[in-house]
Amino acid sequence: MSESNMSISEMLTYSTVLINCQYADGSVGSGTGFIVNLCNKPEEKTCIPVLITNNHVVNNSVRTVFEFCKADENGKPLDTESFSFNYSGAGNKWIPHPNKNIDLCCLPLGPALNELAKTDIKIFYIPLETDLIPTESKINELSAIEDIVMIGYPIGISDQYNHKPVIRRGITATHPKKDYQGQKHILLDMACFPGSSGSPVFIMNQGSYATPSGITVGNRIYLLGILFGGPQYTAQGILSFANVPNIPKPIVNIPTNHGVAIKSSEILEFEKILDPTHEQ
């Protein structure tokens, strides 16, 4: 992330995309994706831009569309103009997480970007870098209560005129260093709605933040996790856990204003299976 004339929060809004899906059964839904540069050979500075989201967002999608901001001839963003990538097929371009129990998948963007380079169309995005993923030592420095922000498209809401996502704020509901319910998850105190699946969750402090040794002056940003599910009450009053749906439905289950995020360290598992020449 290197746009020096932008604030940290503004740069983050250029890392996400709204994902619209048409499914094999004829239904439609939406979710959130975000772009990350994965570098499985950092010594060779070989990186692959990928789009990451939840498996349950794109599974069984026969037509997947994601929208990017256009750029002018100098590479600057044209916020009010967009370009849509259209992927057809039953999701076979997506690479599932190597652990089938982790609800993540990624799509290498290289082939699409290479085709786009043959045209006069330019797009603008700011990929996240894996150095935003906190190391174990950094995680251990965190407190049980940390301010967090989530960037995405709840129930498909966005600033359609400027093609920008919605920013939501909350706190961690369990300590990030703990594995919630024994899984690589973190519980969040934040309202989560259909369309938020796949949203990146950040710890973002601007100006100052607390550490075990006191207050530190400066900025801090970590990619903490990826939203995928949350607890909710059924119409019968039973507390259950479910994926955040990508298809809006009549309210029969009552959310508890909590969400569950997959720990961001799971993104690094994709680096182990990606080939820099990958042409999915």
Q: Given its phi and psi angles, is residue 182 left (phi above 0), alpha (psi -120 to 50 degrees) or beta? A: left
Position 91 scores a pLDDT of 47
Task: Name the nearest CA neighbour of 122 among 62, 78, 65, 59.
Answer: 78
Task: Name the nearest CA neighbour of 46 among 202, 278, 280.
Answer: 278
User: Which tokens in the block code for residue 147?
Assistant: 């301010």
Q: What integer is the mean pLDDT of 236-245?
A: 53
Burial pattern 213-249, b for ≥16 Cβ within 10 A else e, equals eeeeeeebbbbbbbbbbbbbeeeeeeeeeebbbbeee
Q: What percent of the chain has pLDDT over 70?
A: 84
| pLDDT value at 44 more than 70 | no
pLDDT, tens only, 116-133: 999 999 999 999 999 999
Do 65 and 86 contact (CB within 8 A), yes or no? yes
Do 186 and 172 contact (CB within 8 A), yes or no? yes
Q: Work out the pLDDT band at 211, boundaries 50, 70, 90.
A: confident
Mean pLDDT of the chain: 86
Q: What integer is the mean pLDDT of 148-156?
A: 90
Question: Within a 10 A sphere around the Cβ of 257, how many other Cβ atoms?
Answer: 15
Alpha helices (H) in 15-79, listed in sequence order: 55-58
User: What's the CA gap between 189 and 172, in Å, rounded?
Assistant: 6
Q: Which residues contact 251 (CB under 8 A, 6 or more apart)?
A: none
Q: What integer is the mean pLDDT of 47-56?
A: 93
R_g of the chain, CA atoms, integer Å? 18
pLDDT, tens only, 161-188: 998 999 999 999 999 999 999 999 999 9
pLDDT, tens only, 66-120: 989 999 999 999 999 999 998 876 546 899 999 999 999 999 998 889 989 999 9
Position 231 scores a pLDDT of 63
Place of tokens 């020449």: 277
User: What's the CA gap between 270 and 106, in Å, rounded?
Assistant: 8
Least confident interval from 14-28, 82-96, 136-150: 82-96
User: Which tokens in the block code for residue 226?
Assistant: 């990826």
Instruction: Say which residue, 156 or 164, is predicted with more confidence.
Output: 164
Q: Work out the pLDDT band at 234, boundaries 50, 70, 90.
A: low
Position 280 scores a pLDDT of 42
User: What's the CA gap between 225 and 162, in Å, rounded?
Assistant: 26
